[in-house]
Amino acid sequence: MRSFTPYMDVPAFFTSFRDGSMVVTDHRFEGTLPVTGDRWSPFGEATSAGTVREARAPAVVVDCESLRRRTFTEGVLKGMRVRGADIWFMTHIEFVEDLFDAFNTSAEMVLAPYHTTASDAELEDMHSVSDCLIHVVYVVRGRCVTRRGGTDRVTRVLEDLSDLGFYRTCVLDTDDSLPLHEWELVREDYPSAVPFTGSGRTDALGFPTRVVPFRV
């Protein structure tokens, strides 16, 4: 398993389809759902521009289609190739069977939204079959989104995931609403957590790895 490189920014490519071809688009979030915009670039061109091949660093491929439909789809699987990069594949995961499908790709890691998983029992099954899974904790209006539309404090959910054996996690701030003091708590208490944000608010906190959306 490749360890995190200190102070590494990982580009995130939000993928969709235009005229049957996979593209990278601009985006925004409506709640937890990614909404693609009008700007786009062919997938190969965008990933070539957004990655440093010599470094063999990770690249996040965000499967917007599956996340919007709230079910795992196979649309991006054939075209999901990023030359010179290890793919972290972010898609809808509800059951352990979805995890098997997601790993039937070129992905080295799978990023799964925590709130879409069916239960803690499913999380335990996922943990038993793979250590290449990172759960993504979504933040909307300053609160972590939990199952069935609930909310909670980010640190409490990270603690629950840690108790289940998931020490590597990702915090996706969909609307740049997580207070800075809570980011500081995340950095102090959960040093393996990876911020996923387009703002620079976490720059000075010393997170070793950050996921940053690619700008089309």
Convert the pLDDT of each residue in 70-87 to its tens digit.
988 877 777 787 888 889
DSSP 159: H
What's the pLDDT tens digit per position in 85-140? 889 999 999 999 999 888 877 789 999 999 999 999 999 999 999 999 999 999 99
Out of 17-31, 126-140, 150-164, 185-199, pick the least confident.
Answer: 17-31
Residue 60 identity (one-letter amino acid): V
Among the listed residues 36, 38, 37, 60, the one whose alpha carbon sits nearest the alpha carbon of residue 47: 60
Q: How far apart are CA 67 and CA 200, in angstroms?
A: 25
Cβ neighbours for 98, distance < 8 A, ≥ 6 positions apart: 72, 91, 92
State the average pLDDT over residues 185-211.
91
Average pLDDT, the chain: 90
User: What is the CA angle 122-15-145, rounded to 5?
Assistant: 40
What is the per-residue pLDDT for 52? 67
pLDDT digit string, tens, across residues 15-40: 988 888 899 999 889 999 999 888 99
| Superfamily designation of domain 8-213 | Aldolase class I (3.20.20.70)
Is residue 190 pLDDT above 70, yes or no? Answer: yes
pTM: 0.92
Give the pair of three-digit tokens for residue 149: 């539309």
Specify the pLDDT at position 1.
Answer: 39
Give 113's strand partners. Answer: 136
pLDDT band of 63, cuts 50, 70, 90: very high
Q: Where are the domains of the chain?
A: 8-213
